[in-house]
Amino acid sequence: MQEYFKRQIQLWGEETQTTLSSKKIAIIGAGGLGSSLAFALGASGLSEIHMIDFDIVSLHNIHRQIAFQMGDEGKNKAEVNTQIIEQRSPFTKAFTHTCNFEEWSKKGIKVDLLIDATDNLPTRSQINTYAKKEHLPWIYGSVEAFHGQVCFFHNASFNDAFKITQQAPAGITAPVVMHIASLQATLALRYLANLSVKKDLLYYLFFNDEGELITQKFKLPISS
């Protein structure tokens, strides 16, 4: 294990790496954000990763959802990601859940952190409600076109901060998906490694008309 995690151990020491080996997370959605999160966190030394997705791979997914390749069409997305996690790391147990989040939430599985990798507001609302009930933190992420948002929800409420609609995202560039997922994964690792994390702060990243990357931050109100 010391050789496998050599660079991480150089970063934060053996004690923190051992701490990570006891942590369990659930990733809701195994497509664009979810597959990037699976790569970023699947070989970090966590104890368990639960991949939740009922959807199957379509041809148009492959160019921007990095877990999938030609020939994966028709396979369950969570199952493909689970296999990749276990092929890359012998230290993490990955679980496939071919269901929606509401169905998973009734299974009574205990985790330390939820990570949103969905593409719709109603499911994020469900995640928020469940997280509040279970006193769990969760990390929100969304992407559209050339912009994205990330937030570590702790005391704030997604349901208070966002208007919940059925609106689907427009077109998406593949690199911004990986960029937002990497930010989510970094927040997750810092939290699970007991490092400081700025909570209830919404990061909004976008490219303006001149091609400049802009990052804005918004403090979310704490829910009562």
Domain span including residue 131: 6-219
Residue 155 in domain: yes
Residue 52 in domain: yes
Residue 20 in domain: yes
**pLDDT value at position 224?**
62
Residue 83 in domain: yes
Residue 1 in domain: no
Q: Give the DSSP letter of residue 209.
A: T
**pLDDT value at position 163?**
82
Query: Based on the structure, what is the number of domains in the chain?
Result: 1
Residue 77 in domain: yes
The DSSP string of 68-91 is --TT-TTSBHHHHHHHHHHHH-TT
How far is residue 27's CA from residue 78's CA, in Å, rounded to a whole number?
9
How far is residue 162's CA from residue 152's CA, in Å, rounded to a whole number?
15
Residue 224 in domain: no
Residue 73 in domain: yes
User: CATH no. for residue 194?
Assistant: 3.40.50.720
- Smallest CA-to-CA distance from 205 within 147, 152, 153, 151 is with 147
Q: Taking the model in full, what pTM does it have? A: 0.95
What's the pLDDT tens digit per position in 189-199?
999 999 999 99
